[in-house]
Chains A and B, each alone.
Chain A
Amino acid sequence: MSATDTNDNILVATGIRKEFGGLVAVNNVDFTVPRGKVISLIGPNGAGKTTFFNMLTGVYKPTAGTVLLLGEDVTGKPPHAITARGIGRTFQNIRLFQNMTALENVLVGMHTRMKANLFNSILRTPGVKREEKAARDRALELLEYTGLKRKWQTTAKNLPYGDQRRLEVARALATEPQLLLLDEPTAGMNPQESAEFTSFVGHVRDERGLTVLMIEHDMRVVMGVSDRVSVLDYGEKIAEGTPREVQQHERVIEAYLGKAAVEDMKRQGLS
């Protein structure tokens, strides 16, 4: 296991376990996310990747284990509190606010970074006006960054699929995260869109200094942009390392292709 110095690591999860009734979805996973890197989490369907994500963001409470975000224990905190402390996320099946415009979606993402309350919103004090204006400008800036500026007035559900994925990222960026969690961001994209998205994630890391943790199935995306890859299978972490290391890891091949395939490869001297 890599060093768990909290200064270098944005997120440290130790001994994370989740049971749904008798089913152990995630079993005793240790996981660290170093600052400023793109980390990929891969694994076959049902390996517990999304469950793991949901525990990091507070949607599920781990049965056991702790999650440290920037050195602070956030285990079992509600989602909004974790968002406020610096995790932004997208969803596997897009969960935009379908009937709100692109701009409004991003503005909702800024909720924790704004201060207006019931009373000064009714009075519309100069402070509130200023804040609204600033939020709007920043939202438009984020939409421009994700290439959606021209469509700021479009209702989310009317955006094409790829744009909806982008809008989810813009909304997540609006929460001003330190760590961005992307749950299968290129699912349903064609190869060209995936490639564009890969370079976009690289930009986010390099230009915004963000740390990215993503679940991904598309190996071109994973290999293209990841600094490190972790592999989950049946709720357990079976491998971790650079994309190249993981690619050749015996247990990973086994998990994806089965034991027979590994033996087959060995026989042919490929492994």
Chain B
Amino acid sequence: MTETLADPPEVVGIRNVLRARWKALPFWYRVGISIGLELLIAILLFLLDHSLGYAFATVAALYWVHRLPRLPWRLAGQLVIITIFLVFGVTSLAAALAIAFAVFWIPERYRTWALPLVAVALAVLYPFYQPKMFTIPVFGVWPDIATGVVMLVFIMMAVGLNIVVGYAGLLDLGYVAFYAMGAYTAAWFSSLQFANKNFHFGAVGITPDLPGIHVTIWLLLPLAGVVTALAGIIIGLPTLRLRGDYLAIVTLGFGEILPQIARNGDNFFGTGFNLTNGPNGITPLDSLGFGNRISDATGGFLPANYLQCCNAKVLGHQIQSTDVFFWTAIVLLLFTVFCSLRLQYSRLGRAWIAIREDETAAAAMGVPLMRTKTWAYATGAFFGGVAGAYYASFKSATFPGDFFFNISVFILCMVILGGMGNIWGVIVGAGFLAYLDREGLANTGAWVNANIHVGHWHPNLDVPLYASGIYGLIILVVMLFRPEGLIPSKRVAAEMHEGVHDEPLYDVAHGAEGA
């Protein structure tokens, strides 16, 4: 079969072979085959679910209209599609159009800023229009707000991990340890865990004589971040001397150790000191809130207590406490993204990328390897800790069972799926996987069970049961066809296809001293 290829040695990999054969076909054949296939798929989808077929056909049509060589033709095509939409008025067409418009018609120059701005606006307004949203084909209803909070927390962790894995190229398989550190830090200082102490500072929703340490969450979030970053430095100093696989294995070990400490910490090292309350975890945690004084000062804009929020009705929408948690999570995520972007284009960010590309050369150009890697590790840990603390407060609980190895891998999958090193890719990948985990798979399962039947056979699948297998399959497909992820950074894409120059040139003995 391969002798049909023009130049076999240059074509490697399934994807490239397929592409080369496809390119060898005459242009109109390709167009014909594409449209034919799309029609076929649209008809098949239509038979399954009407809106699914419409949506696919619309996106396909928009794509071909966009490819038309002249502007008037393009406009005419758009007009036709919009007319069809107006006549048939299927709601899912609206979303398909909106997405297609956003992707195709914003000029390249503005796309970098327009899309994030639109995304932030859509996210902030989400609680208002979520109940009115149409049903997505296959995936069912749009995720509810509580799921949105979890998605945002996971996106934040993925963006943090991206600093370690995507920027500095350090494979960290124990990121969940930082998540756990953050969660427990928040729990210690805002619960009844240390009931023999009695310390209150700005916490809301509790009586003043309640035992235990109760500190306001707005101090705990940065505190959790700092504690976790320090833990990152302590863990990093001995481990970051290692390269590649070795580092991965050691971080994996730390990821396993911390949940075990949490699990067995109700009798800390046999001293009888109850640090973590063992397998029962710490619950409940204090509510979030700004307290009455700040709330009154801002005219009730900042709620005094999230859990008793809110009596306000905005745009016909009764604001609920999950909405406020959701908006707070957006603010935290924006902060993470902001820091991440600022760092990417700084002296430190360049040093990280240099280390990823060629450690030896980076060291020879004056980049201190240990210090720079440790900063990456600590920064990643900081955001992991903040995310963990926020999530614990949102759930009002933290259990050792939340911090297993599979979470580390799950977050790593988000980074890989989205595209290492590219923050927008990581956000998309993390959001999608977190959604699948929370709601998507269950909804998909329900749809499959309701709609697919062969003769008299109806499947009765519990799809979330196969979650790990499905994520594995997704990662496998991504690695085969798009190893750089869905929305990669240009640099990482190039590295993935050509490999990096990373022959170690160090003495083993020396590497241990280069601090």
Q: A residues touching B (Cβ–Cβ < 8 Å)?
A: 54, 57-61, 76, 78-81, 83-84, 89, 91, 95-100, 104, 107-109, 111-114, 116-118, 121-124, 128, 132, 155, 157, 171-172, 174-175
Cβ B346 vs Cβ A121 within 8 A: yes
Known: A59-B506, A124-B342. A95 touches B366 (CB 8 A): no
Cβ B506 vs Cβ A109 within 8 A: no
Chain B contacts for A107, CB-based, 8 A:
347, 350
A81, A108, A116: which has the most chain B beta carbons within 10 Å? Answer: A108
CA distance A109 to B375 in the complex (A): 19
Q: List 21 A-B contacts (CB under 8 A).
A: A54-B505, A58-B363, A59-B506, A61-B509, A61-B510, A76-B510, A78-B369, A78-B514, A79-B363, A80-B367, A83-B364, A84-B366, A95-B358, A95-B360, A98-B498, A99-B490, A99-B491, A99-B494, A100-B491, A111-B347, A121-B342
- Picked from A61, A78, A108, the residue with its CB within 8 Å of the CB of B365 is A108
- CB 8 Å contact bits of B352-380 with A (1 = contact, 0 = none): 01100110111111111100000100010
Cβ A80 vs Cβ B366 within 8 A: yes
Cβ A108 vs Cβ B375 within 8 A: no
Interface residues of B in 474-515 (CB under 8 A from A): 490-491, 494-495, 498, 500-501, 505-507, 509-510, 513-515
A60, A96, A99, A121: which has the most chain B beta carbons within 10 Å? Answer: A99
Cβ B367 vs Cβ A122 within 8 A: no
CA distance A171 to B338 in the complex (A): 30
> In chain A, what residue has the closest Cβ to B505?
A59
In the complex, what's the smallest C-beta–C-beta distance from A16 to chain B, in angstroms? 15
Known: A78-B513, A100-B353. A117 touches B365 (CB 8 A): no
Q: What 4 new A-B contacts, CB under 8 Å, besides A79-B360, A99-B495, A172-B365?
A: A80-B369, A83-B364, A97-B354, A157-B498
Cβ A97 vs Cβ B339 within 8 A: no
Q: Is the interface of B mostly helix, strand, loop or mixed?
A: helix
- Picked from A61, A80, A100, the residue with its CB within 8 Å of the CB of B363 is A80
Q: Would you call B181 an interface residue if the criterion is a C-beta within 8 Å of the partner chain's C-beta atoms? A: no
Chain B contacts for A99, CB-based, 8 A:
357, 490-491, 494-495
**6 tightest CB-CB pairs across the interface, nearest first?**
A78-B514, A112-B366, A121-B346, A83-B366, A95-B361, A79-B363
In the complex, what's the smallest C-beta–C-beta distance from B16 to chain A, in angstroms? 19
CA distance A80 to B515 in the complex (A): 10
Cβ B506 vs Cβ A97 within 8 A: no
Cβ B358 vs Cβ A175 within 8 A: no
Known: A80-B367, A99-B494, A108-B367. A116 touches B347 (CB 8 A): yes
Interface residue total, chain B, C-beta cutoff 8 A:
41
Cβ B351 vs Cβ A111 within 8 A: yes
Cβ A97 vs Cβ B507 within 8 A: no
CA distance A122 to B336 in the complex (A): 11
Chain B contacts for A96, CB-based, 8 A:
358, 361
Known: A116-B346, A121-B347. A175 touches B366 (CB 8 A): yes
Chain A contacts for B367, CB-based, 8 A:
80, 108, 111
Chain B contacts for A81, CB-based, 8 A:
368
Cβ A121 vs Cβ B510 within 8 A: no
Chain B contacts for A57, CB-based, 8 A:
364
Cβ A111 vs Cβ B366 within 8 A: yes
Interface residues of B in 367-423 (CB under 8 A from A): 367-369, 375, 379
Chain A contacts for B491, CB-based, 8 A:
99-100
In the complex, what's the smallest C-beta–C-beta distance from B444 to chain A, in angstroms? 38
Cβ A89 vs Cβ B364 within 8 A: yes
- Picked from B343, B365, B501, the residue with its CB within 8 Å of the CB of A118 is B343
In the complex, what's the smallest C-beta–C-beta distance from A198 to chain B, in angstroms? 24
Known: A59-B360, A84-B366. A116 touches B354 (CB 8 A): no
Cβ A59 vs Cβ B346 within 8 A: no
Cβ A78 vs Cβ B358 within 8 A: no
Chain A contacts for B501, CB-based, 8 A:
95, 98
Q: Would you call B43 an interface residue if the criterion is a C-beta within 8 Å of the partner chain's C-beta atoms? A: no
Chain A contacts for B339, CB-based, 8 A:
122
Q: Would you call B348 an interface residue if the criterion is a C-beta within 8 Å of the partner chain's C-beta atoms? A: yes
CA distance A76 to B507 in the complex (A): 11
CA distance A100 to B360 in the complex (A): 16
CA distance A84 to B368 in the complex (A): 10
Cβ B346 vs Cβ A100 within 8 A: no
CA distance A58 to B368 in the complex (A): 12
In the complex, what's the smallest C-beta–C-beta distance from A55 to chain B, in angstroms? 10
Chain A contacts for B500, CB-based, 8 A:
98
> In chain B, what residue has the closest Cβ to A156?
B357
CA distance A171 to B361 in the complex (A): 10
Chain A contacts for B494, CB-based, 8 A:
98-99, 155, 157
Cβ B510 vs Cβ A118 within 8 A: no
Chain A contacts for B514, CB-based, 8 A:
58, 78-80
A79, A118, A157: which has the most chain B beta carbons within 10 Å? Answer: A79
CA distance A107 to B350 in the complex (A): 8
> In chain B, what residue has the closest Cβ to A101?
B491
Cβ A118 vs Cβ B379 within 8 A: yes
> In chain B, what residue has the closest Cβ to A176?
B366
CA distance A104 to B506 in the complex (A): 25
Known: A83-B366, A95-B358, A112-B366. A121 touches B348 (CB 8 A): yes
CA distance A50 to B342 in the complex (A): 39
Chain A contacts for B363, CB-based, 8 A:
58-59, 78-80, 83
CA distance A124 to B338 in the complex (A): 11
In the complex, what's the smallest C-beta–C-beta distance from B420 to chain A, in angstroms? 13
In the complex, what's the smallest C-beta–C-beta distance from B294 to chain A, in angstroms? 25
Cβ B379 vs Cβ A59 within 8 A: no
Cβ B515 vs Cβ A78 within 8 A: yes
Cβ B343 vs Cβ A114 within 8 A: no
Chain A contacts for B364, CB-based, 8 A:
57, 59, 79, 83, 89, 91, 95
A59, A124, A157: which has the most chain B beta carbons within 10 Å? Answer: A59
In the complex, what's the smallest C-beta–C-beta distance from A178 to chain B, in angstroms? 13
CA distance A60 to B364 in the complex (A): 12
CA distance A255 to B279 in the complex (A): 73
CA distance A113 to B500 in the complex (A): 26
CA distance A92 to B477 in the complex (A): 39
CA distance A231 to B43 in the complex (A): 78
In the complex, what's the smallest C-beta–C-beta distance from A139 to chain B, in angstroms? 11
CA distance A113 to B349 in the complex (A): 16
Cβ A122 vs Cβ B342 within 8 A: yes
CA distance A172 to B343 in the complex (A): 24
In the complex, what's the smallest C-beta–C-beta distance from A249 to chain B, in angstroms? 32
Known: A121-B346, A124-B342. A97 touches B353 (CB 8 A): yes
Chain B contacts for A128, CB-based, 8 A:
346
Chain B contacts for A114, CB-based, 8 A:
347
Cβ B366 vs Cβ A118 within 8 A: no
CA distance A88 to B343 in the complex (A): 26
CA distance A62 to B351 in the complex (A): 27
> In chain B, what residue has the closest Cβ to A91?
B361
> In chain B, what residue has the closest Cβ to A117?
B348
Chain A contacts for B350, CB-based, 8 A:
100, 104, 107-108, 111
CA distance A26 to B494 in the complex (A): 38
